[in-house]
Amino acid sequence: MTTNRTGGLTGHRAAPGRLFGRCVAALFALVVATAADAAVRYWALQGVKTQAGANVSGAFAYDDTANQVTSWILRIESGNGFLPFTFVPGNSTHWVGVEGVPPFLSMYIYAAPGSAFGDHFLRLSFVGPLDGTTASVALLTFDPVSKGYYSAECGGEFGCRGIASGAVALVALPPAVGLVDVVEFHHAAFDHYFMTASPAEIAKLDNGTFAGWARTGYAFKAYATGSSPGPATNPVCRYYGLPSAGLDSHFYSASAVECFQVYKLFGHAWLMESDNVFQIDLPDTLTGACPVGTIAIYRVYNNRADVNHRYMTSTAVRAQMEAAGWIREGYGPNATIMCAIAP
């Protein structure tokens, strides 16, 4: 992939130039110095769609003095070989600067290395400044000179898929923070565990629509899909193990890297149902330490052909599962896998 003089993305490989970004930082500072009173402002995506019709939604906070995106939650649907993905500070970084001739503002959100094939990023380019002088700023989309797209999602072997329409609108507040209960169920005949934050699924499990399931009495609190994320907050992906592969189970992870590894290594047997069934904090992946105000969640694996995992906040319950032959999985010496909101 290359960026031509007008800024349209073409081809399939190279990442955008970060060195170029540093070179234009001074120019950008002059641009924003003449804008409206500087502040952190919240911008929501409106009507943003890829060339194939996939929706791109979410919001971000932009400080036009520091030229920083201070927070973001940007979700793009699957299509053109790409998995769905939710970009948040917990799984991505950003760069903002001026590009092109004539110059325009661009924002890049880079997914964590290992969370996709090759470099994976979302680029949004704007027809005007994000300084609050206008309540809506259109995205730069198709470039008739290069036949590429100014705004696009790019990722390794899949190249880029262009963003064909949409704008960002100034909003008063960031997305609300919602809390959900993630409720655990057990199927005695299968000896399988399942958890969900979906009220519709919980109701069907309770009323017998999905037969054989009963509540275990265990649950933990997480953030609702689309909530404003904290620095360690990540979307939780959910995979379904296909019966055609001898499976009938679900797998969850808050790690963008692990979510991608399931697809890369076991995509023939596991189907991604969602990239974001709820949001939760990820522990330090070296020490397993959870952020202040959260408690550890542990994961165990049944070590059987009919793969199943169980998630819990109790070390006593984990010890019982290990005594029954289940194997712990997680980060750090105590194998923490996620961090729930403390009760």
Structural domain boundaries in the chain: 2-171, 179-341
Residue 19: its pLDDT value, please?
A: 29
Contact 164, 51 (CB under 8 A): yes
- Global confidence as pTM: 0.89
pLDDT tens readout for residues 289-319: 999 999 999 999 999 999 999 999 999 999 9
Concatenate the DSSP letters of all residues of 39-75 into one string.
-EEEEEEEEEEETT--EEEEEEEEETTTTEEEEEEEE
340 three-class SS? strand
Q: In the structure encoding, which two tokens stand for residue 316, read together?
A: 């006593």
The mean-pLDDT minimum among 79-93, 152-166, 232-246, 268-282 falls in 152-166
Long-range residue pairs from 14-18, CB within 8 A, at least 24 positions apart, any chain: 15/119, 15/121, 16/95, 16/108, 16/121, 16/123, 18/95
Query: For residue 309, what are the β-bridge partners?
Result: 301
Measured CA angle at 217 (ends 212, 222), to 5 deg? 105
pLDDT in tens, 11-32: 333 334 332 333 333 333 333 3
